[in-house]
Amino acid sequence: MEVNFQFDWAAAFGSIPHLLPGIPWTLMISFGGLAIGFVIGIVFGLMRISPSRWMRLPAVFYIEVFRGTPILVQVLFIFYGLPQLLGGPINALTAGIAAIAVNSGAYISEVVRGGVQSIERGQREAALSLGLSRTQAFRYVIWPQAFRRMIPPLGNQGIISIKDTSLFSVIGVGELVRQGQIYIATTFTALEVYLMVALLYLAITWSLSLLLRVLERRGLVGQ
């Protein structure tokens, strides 16, 4: 069977103006969700290492549930399932941000736990011996060091969350993939358009990776 196909570069580059409106939606969902997820991650990450069993158990349950289920299922549950419980519809943008928040929050919880536990016990003991309270020792000695070590995995989670937004076209969010689907429906140039969608995602994630490498070279992250 002979296949006579020529890649249409004009169609590929011509799709860019139609795809660009999806970038703000992609960034809004990913970074909005990550901001909320970071707060969630701090709370549950610290609960995870609490000496109290009643603090640890809810944290373990939350982390295992949201790390163990696909984010696509989570956003479908939020968008289609929760309205049945709440008695009203949920905006697609809100559902997307909420899905990124709870999903990234579970992973960030483990990043926080690992970062705090990576600080040597002697650091805390030295701070206490200087007269600091446990809260002050954590705030001024443990947390600043732990946070520097968290930045690379937090950056990786940011990249993952940006790519996860591509799944939210199923609920009608106007991110990059959704914009591509709308354009393809009228032009029938799926190969060319999806290639440009992939390149735009690559440009966003590569920019974030580059920022992380710059921070590492300047010694602002890591040890």
CATH number, domain containing residue 97 = 1.10.3720.10
Would 97 be classed as within a structural domain?
yes
Mean pLDDT of 28-38: 95
Would 138 be classed as within a structural domain?
yes
Would 154 be classed as within a structural domain?
yes
Would 19 be classed as within a structural domain?
no
Range of the domain at 59: 25-173
Would 4 be classed as within a structural domain?
no
Mean pLDDT of 161-188: 90
Q: Would you state the pLDDT for residue 98?
A: 96
CA pair distance 189, 180, nearest whole angstrom: 10
Percent pLDDT > 70 in the chain is 96
Helix (H, G, I), strand (E, B) or coil at 141: helix
pTM of the model: 0.90
What Cα–Cα distance (Å) separates residue 86 from each residue in 83, 89, 92, 190, 197?
Answer: 5, 8, 15, 38, 35
Would 5 be classed as within a structural domain?
no
Would 34 be classed as within a structural domain?
yes
How much is the mean pLDDT over the chain?
A: 90
- Tell me which residue of 160, 156, 148 sits closest to 216, measured CA to CA: 148
Mean pLDDT of 52-58: 93
- Number of structural domains in the chain: 1
Would 6 be classed as within a structural domain?
no
